[in-house]
Amino acid sequence: MPFHVIAFRENRSAAATLDTVAPVPDPVGTIIKETYIVPTTYNKIVAVNGGAVECTEMKISAPSIRDEGDFQVTPIETQDYPTVEQKIIDLRTNPLALESGEGLSVLASNTAPASGQTADVYSVVFLADGPIAPVTGRIITVKATTSGTLTAGQWTNLPISFAVDLPVGTYAVVGMRAESPGLIAARLVSPEVPYRPGVLGRHSATEEDLTMFRYGRFGEFLRFAHNRPPTVDFLSVSADSNPVVYLDLIKVA
């Protein structure tokens, strides 16, 4: 099933009670005040991650689930970017259904990291049109490099260059790893599809993998021709340069 990645992030002082976290501006999404409008097709949550250095509680809120007490994000991260797979809420086989057109918001409470300082609170939400079915086949992994500097706290789009020339054909992306020191998330961008599938960030070449996003376990992301690769949106807490991407591919034509 296709899926779409959205993000919320806010640098703020201490919030003793639950307060909204601002959505990250998104060229393919509608944001009204501090809510992200649930798309028509991708209206089911299949994964969530979020937190902050001093985050104490986090919830996903929308009118359709509010009567049930909203959705509690637990466990929460204690850094301002993703750390380990055990802190990703995995709903791939049993998605949380929302209503298309309603406002989706993230609520969080936090203390400040130190007196007079602020906290970077974030959440990444994966939306799909149904359960995520794993895919299998002959999978190869290809490295891709970028050239550019990221804008901290915003989606920054960069083209990618593969380390090898792909044979002529069409490829399905069935996994991804993205690396940069402050990376929160990365997502693929193609003019052929309206959604932007992606992954949570890794911060060095030696950091452990998030295996749920690799080798077909999160389904098919999108397809591209060998000479028309997707670009990548990166979201980072810092102004990193030249992030690196690895794509798991199946040649389908």
pLDDT per position as a tens digit, 172-191:
999 999 999 999 999 999 99
**Torsion angle, alpha carbons of 119, 89, 60, 100, to 10:** 130
- HSE, side-chain direction, 13 A CA sphere, residue 111: 6
> 95: exposed, middle or buried (C-beta count within 10 Å: 0-12, 13-18, 19+)?
buried
Question: For residues 241 and 14, which has the higher predicted lDDT (pLDDT)?
Answer: 241
**So what's the pLDDT on residue 244?**
98
pTM of the model: 0.96
Specify the DSSP class assigned to residue 51: E
Question: How far, rounded to the nearest angstrom, does the alpha carbon of residue 79 sit from its chain's CA centroid?
Answer: 16
Q: For 91-102, what is each residue's pLDDT tens digit? A: 999 999 999 999
Q: Looking at the chain, which residues constitute the CATH 2.60.120 domain(s)?
A: 3-128, 140-251
CATH class (in words) of the domain with range 3-128: mainly beta
Domain at 140-251: CATH code: 2.60.120
φ/ψ of residue 14, rounded to 5: -60, 140
What tokens were used for 168?
């002529």
Beta strands in the chain (DSSP E): 3-12, 15-21, 31-32, 35-37, 44-51, 55-61, 71-72, 89-90, 96-97, 103-110, 119-128, 140-145, 155-158, 161-162, 170-179, 183-189, 198-200, 222-225, 231-236, 244-251
Q: For 233-253, what is each residue's pLDDT tens digit? A: 999 999 999 999 999 999 999
The model's confidence at residue 67, banded by pLDDT at 50, 70 and 90, is confident
Do you know the residue count of the chain?
A: 253
Q: What distances in angstroms separate CA 12 from CA 7, 87, 89, 135, 163, one per listed residue?
A: 16, 22, 24, 41, 40
Question: How far, rounded to the nearest angstrom, does the alpha carbon of residue 40 sit from its chain's CA centroid?
Answer: 19
What gap in Å lies between CA 42 and CA 181, rounded to an integer?
30
